[in-house]
Amino acid sequence: MAKAGDQLELSEKELEVLSARWDKITYHTQGSPLEDLSISCLAKNTACKPWSRPSTKAKNDTLARYIYLNFDELREVEKLDLKAAIHLLDICENTMLFVQEANNLGGMAEISEQATSQRMRFVEEYGLYQDYPIALSNIDGALRDLCRAEGVNTLLDLMSFIDNLSDKAWLGGSYQKLQNVFAHGDESGLCEYFPYRIGHRGFHLTEALAFCLNRLKRRELNDILEYHQRRRKKSRFGSKTIDLPEVVESRLLPEVFECIYYFGRRQQKLMPKLYDSAYVTRELMFLNDPETEGILHWLLHLALGIFRPSSVENKEELEGLSIDRESKLHKNLKSLLEEV
């Protein structure tokens, strides 16, 4: 039973529970580095109520002073009332909880290292480009916006980001699928979001160009399809001139330039082949979509024609384009094409 001077009155059973908790916590703290820390410091670091014993010198009021006593001795030898003894118990338990969480963080570091190792095996097995831009991928709008906001710019950034992202439940769509792709080395899933071709290592320009169309809004894509169909009829039957959809100049061509420049720097033999219509046709056939193949063949021809107008049959399309020839991308791509 509690002493008369105690501020709390507890039953014998409740005191036994407290004693058992004290025995358990002291078993884990005896002989540990925590022994030499002051109780007031531990209370502060664990956000417990401040600890103070005016009659005790601060330098002597360490954990070691108390943990070799049982719960009854705390009250008899150290003259702690029941409220103070429970307070000390709370400080000790919260300290050990903090230590356990810190140890778990060490375990998480090991898990993170394993995840990094797994990612690199995945990248090496399929010959993926670690620095492939997320801006040229096929992930959905929600995850694309999140990546932009968080500074996730490359494939490797995205793999790490997905591993470490907390509060994952609200993200659906490509996020959850990409988790499985990276975790299990899913080639089919990889093709859905990055310009990978099953059975062929690395990324490919053809698939990257197809993603440029995927990123368009439905209305914009319909305008492109209609223009391309009417353009083909005009070349055959000489029908009236039609206007190039605005999105070609504002969105598609800049993204096509980005794709050509990215792959051109990494695949030295690629650039000369892009002026070979037969080669381009064979590459586009991997898409297994004749309509898309036709649009991309024309789009690629138009983009390259800006740098070599003599290679373009329909000069009217080039004349109507307003291209920022002073942009860094334009200058870099021009320099790359001049080396061909």
The domain tally of the chain equals 3
Binning pLDDT at 50, 70 and 90, where does residue 45 land?
confident
CA triple 221-223-224, angle to 5 deg: 65
Q: Is residue 117, in this structure, part of any structural domain at all?
A: no
β partners of residue 178: none
Same domain, 66 and 88: yes
Q: Which has more pLDDT, 11 or 131?
A: 131
Residue 61 in any domain: the answer is: yes
- What integer pLDDT is reported at residue 323 of this predicted model? 81
Q: Are residues 39 and 23 in the same domain?
A: yes
Domain contains 4: no
Same-domain check for residues 219 and 322: yes
Mean pLDDT, residues 144-149 taken together: 85
User: Residues 264, 267, 273, 279: what is their CA dihedral angle, to the nearest 10 degrees?
Assistant: -120
pTM: 0.65
5 occurs within a structural domain? no
Give 212 or 105, the one with higher predicted confidence.
212
Tell me: do 142 and 216 sit in the same domain: no
Q: Is the dihedral of CA 11, 12, 18, 22 positive or negative?
A: positive
List the structure tokens of 68.
């070799």
Number of neighbouring beta carbons within 10 Å of residue 116: 14
82's tokens:
């029941």
174: its two tokens: 């490509």
Same-domain check for residues 17 and 33: yes
Is the pLDDT score of 15 beyond 80?
A: yes
- Asked whether residue 191 falls in the same domain as residue 246, the answer is no
Is 120 inside any structural domain?
A: no
Q: Between residues 128 and 54, which one has the greater pLDDT? A: 128
Give percent above pLDDT 90 in the chain: 33
Bridge partners of 62, per DSSP, are 38
Instruction: Establish if 284 belongs to a structural domain.
Output: yes
Mean per-residue pLDDT, 151-158: 92
Structural domain of 50:
12-107
Residue where one domain finishes, among candidates 202, 217, 238: 202
Mean pLDDT, to the nearest integer, of 21-49? 82
pLDDT in the model for residue 167: 44
Structure-model confidence comparison of residues 4 and 255, the more confident one: 255
Q: Could you report the per-residue pLDDT of 59-88, keeping only the tens digit for each?
A: 678 888 998 899 998 888 888 888 999 999
Of residues 156, 153, 160, the one with CA closest to residue 128: 156
Does residue 330 share a domain with residue 210?
A: yes
179, 219: one domain: no
What would the DSSP string read from start to end of 273-335? HTT-HHHHHHHHGGG--HHHHHHHHHHHHHHHHHH-GGG-S-HHHHHT----TTSHHHHHHHH
| Residue 282 sits in the same domain as residue 320 | yes
More confident: 302 or 242: 302
Where is pLDDT greater, at 284 or 110? 284
| 118 assigned to some structural domain | no
Indicate the residue among 202, 236, 255 that finishes a domain. 202
Q: Residue 278: is its pLDDT beyond 90? A: yes
- What's the pLDDT score for residue 236? 55
Which of 202, 220, 241 is the last residue before a domain boundary? 202
Whether the per-residue pLDDT at 33 is higher than 50: the answer is yes
